[in-house]
Structure 1
Amino acid sequence: MKKISFISGALIVVMLLLFLTGVLDFNNEIKKSIASGNKLYASKDYDTSLEVYRKALEKNSEDAILNYNSGQASYQLNNYEQAIEHYDKASDKVDKYLHQGNCSYKLADSSNDMNQKMESYNKALEIYKNGMVNFPSNVELKYNYELVKSKIDEMNKDNQNQQDNENQQDNKENQQDDNKNNQDGKNDQQDNKDNQENEDNKQGQQQDQDNQNNESGSEDKNKNENGEDENKEEEQESEQSKNKEGNQDEDKKNQQEQGEKSDEDKEDGSSMNKEDTSEGEQNDKDIMQVLQMLEKQEESSLKNNQQVKNSGKEEKYDW
Structure 2
Amino acid sequence: MLIAELNHRVRNILALIRGLITQTDTPGITTAGYVEALGGRVQALARAHDQVTLQNWSPAPLVTLFEAEIAAFMPDRHDRFRIVGPPILLRPGAFSSMALVVHELVTNSMKYGALSDSGSVEVVIDHRDGDGLFVTWREIGGPPVSPPTRVGFGTVIVERTIPFDLRGTAVVRFPPEGFEADFFIPARHLAGYAARPAAPSPEHGTSPEEGQSDPITQPLHGRRVLLLEDNMIVALTVENLLEDLGALQVLTASHIDSATEIMNREVVEFAILDINLGEETSLELAMRLRAASIPFFFASGYGDDAGLTPELAGTVIVRKPYGKHDLHKAIITVLKA
Larger Rg: 1
Same fold by TM-score, threshold 0.5 exceeded? no
User: Which TM-score band (shorter chain)?
Assistant: under 0.3
TM-score, length-scaled by structure 2 = 0.16
Greater helix share, 1 or 2?
1
For normalisation by structure 1, the TM-score amounts to 0.17
Structure number having the greater strand percentage:
2
Higher relative contact order (CA 8 A, sep 6+): 2
